Structure formats: C-alpha cells, structure tokens
Amino acid sequence: MKYNKERKEIILDKELNKIDKFTFDFIRIIEKYVDYVIISGYVSILLGRSRATENVDIFIKKIPKAKFISMYKDLIENDFWCINSDNIDTIFDYIDEGIAIRFARGRIPLPNIKVKFPKDELDGDAFNDSISVKLPVGDMNISSLERHIAFKRYFLGDDKDNEDALHVEELFKEDIDYEKIKKLKGLIKLRQYEIRKRR
C-alpha cells in the first residue's frame, strides 16, 4: 500500500473481499450520475482493518430529482434495491430531507450501502478533502485520512470508531497532518455545540 500525499492517492494491490466488490459494483453505477465520497468504517476496512461491516457509508452530492431517478433505475437494473421503500418519490423525499437511504443487492438486506446528501458545509467539504484509492479493478474516492480520523475520534467516538481511527493512524502516521486533524476537531466540536444550542 503506497500513499502519495501530494497526488492524494493510495495505490492498493489488494485481493478484493466481498464488501470491496459489492462497494465497487455500486459506485461504478452511481459515479455515472453524481460525485461521491466513501466515509466512515469502510474506509478503514478498505485500508486493511480486520473487521467486517453491515453497511458502507457514502456521501453523494445533491442532485435534481430527475437525475436521482435515472441513477435509481440504473441501480435497480443492476440488481440493487432500496431497503427503505420501492417508491421512488418516497425514497427521494427521504434523502432530500437529510435521511440516509440504504441499498442492498439481490433480495437480501446485507450488506448494504447507506447513501446520504451532505447535511452542512462540514459534510460537503468531504468531496474536496478526499483521496483516490487505486485498486486493480479501478478507483474509489474516500475521505482524507485526517478527516476520517477526526470524525471517527471526535464525532462518533465509540470503541469501534476509535479502533478504526487508530488503524489508519498507525498505517500512515508518518504522513498524517496532525494540525489538520486539530482544525477538524474544532469544527466538529463547533457543530456539536450549535446542534445542542438549537435543541
């Protein structure tokens, strides 16, 4: 595994597991319609963490309903299904209201891809603050290592999340920008404060 910080890419010659293949099949479809970035636990798993997961989290940029419907039809034609509803209006309403929707393949619900629009500027920054993982079969966009660590450690913060953060930190500690993590921590804490204030 080779990380080129300047080029924002990781060369990864891994043997793909079922979650890698499932995720790759999904993003090959959605990337025809929308920009995406993979976030959270699967980032650590893609980079070698020794655990499985029930879902892969993906941000997609906000798109008009017509384009979303085209993407949805393409997913359905390729054996994916939305486990929240089979009514496209309902599905779009969910995601447009900031609710994550899940897609699985075949008629089974596991594993699944959890798709959501970014809910604020901090989420939206993930698209510009991303890196490309170059796999033998193609590329995957994931959140930057610093963003991944910051959100795992300071936003999510349970044992599993701290372990996911530690895995990535241990792998890339010579290249990680700790000042950037500190800044992201500040933005995360500010967002949490603002959410609490609104309640």
Partner 1 sequence: MKSEKEDNSKKVFMKPGKTNKEDRMNFIKYWAEYIKTHSDKEWSSQQKVLIDAQIPE
The residue among 15 and 97 lying less far from partner 1, judged by its C-beta, is 15
User: Are the C-beta atoms of residues 34 and 71 closer than 8 Å to each other?
Assistant: yes
The residue among 108 and 190 lying less far from partner 1, judged by its C-beta, is 108
| Sequence-ordered list of residues with C-beta below 8 angstroms from that of 184, at least 6 positions apart, any chain | 146, 147, 150, 151, 154
Estimate to the nearest angstrom the gap between the alpha carbon of 112 and the chain centroid: 12
Sequence letter at residue 13:
D
Footprint of partner 1 (CB under 8 A)? 1, 12-19, 22, 45, 48-52, 108, 110-111, 159, 163, 166-167, 170-171
| Sequence-ordered list of residues with C-beta below 8 angstroms from that of 138, at least 6 positions apart, any chain | 24, 28
The residue among 68 and 102 lying less far from partner 1, judged by its C-beta, is 102
The residue among 82 and 104 lying less far from partner 1, judged by its C-beta, is 104
